[in-house]
């Protein structure tokens, strides 16, 4: 049996204002949640296009939940993991970030750390390897 790694875009924000966070709340629709119940491996491709005058990174926060609901009290208050996409002024930056697939449900938040400049084309793509039956 061959192994497959399905790929799915879970966030695609055309613009992220200076100091903005998306989604604005846990369970928000700006980023799909990812069910890791039967996942052996999980990786996320993180990308953004930085303003020509930009100086600060885009920081991606990974938060977990056992239910995946839309109420803040259904989500952890502390990050499970964090990845920092360094600013490349006037250009697109991309990185692959691998996480341990132990949590049941995870959601990614993108934060524009630049206090002056917006960024565009902020995307998160998930790549998972399902558990294979014996």
62: buried, middle or exposed (CB in 10 Å: 19+, 13-18, 0-12)? buried
Nearest to 92 by CA among 121, 60, 131: 121
Residues 87 and 109: their CA atoms lie apart, in Å, by: 17
Whether domain 7-130 has CATH 3.90.420.10: the reply is no
Per-residue pLDDT of the chain (134 residues), as tens digits, is 455 777 899 999 999 999 999 999 888 889 999 999 999 999 999 999 999 999 999 999 999 999 988 888 999 999 999 999 999 999 999 999 999 999 999 999 999 999 999 999 999 999 999 887 76
User: Given this model, what pLDDT does residue 1 score?
Assistant: 47
Residue with tokens 């039967």: 38
Domain ranges of the chain: 7-130
Query: Which pTM value belongs to this model?
Result: 0.93
**For residue 3, what pLDDT is reported?**
58
pLDDT for the residue 33 = 94
* Angstrom distance (rounded) from CA 8 to CA 78: 25
- Give pLDDT, residue 43: 95
């Amino acid at each position: 049996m061959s192994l497959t790694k399905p790929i799915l875009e879970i966030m695609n924000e055309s613009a992220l204002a200076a100091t903005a966070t998306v989604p604005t709340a846990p369970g928000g629709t700006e980023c799909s949640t990812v069910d890791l119940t039967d996942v052996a491996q999980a990786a996320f491709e993180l990308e953004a296009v930085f303003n020509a005058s930009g100086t600060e990174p885009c920081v991606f926060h990974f938060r977990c939940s056992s239910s995946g609901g839309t109420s803040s009290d259904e989500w952890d208050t502390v990050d499970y993991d964090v990845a920092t996409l360094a600013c490349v002024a006037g250009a697109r930056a991309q990185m692959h970030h691998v996480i341990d697939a132990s949590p049941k449900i995870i959601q990614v938040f993108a934060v524009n750390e630049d206090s002056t400049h917006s960024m565009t084309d902020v995307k998160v793509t998930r790549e998972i390897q399902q558990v294979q039956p014996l």
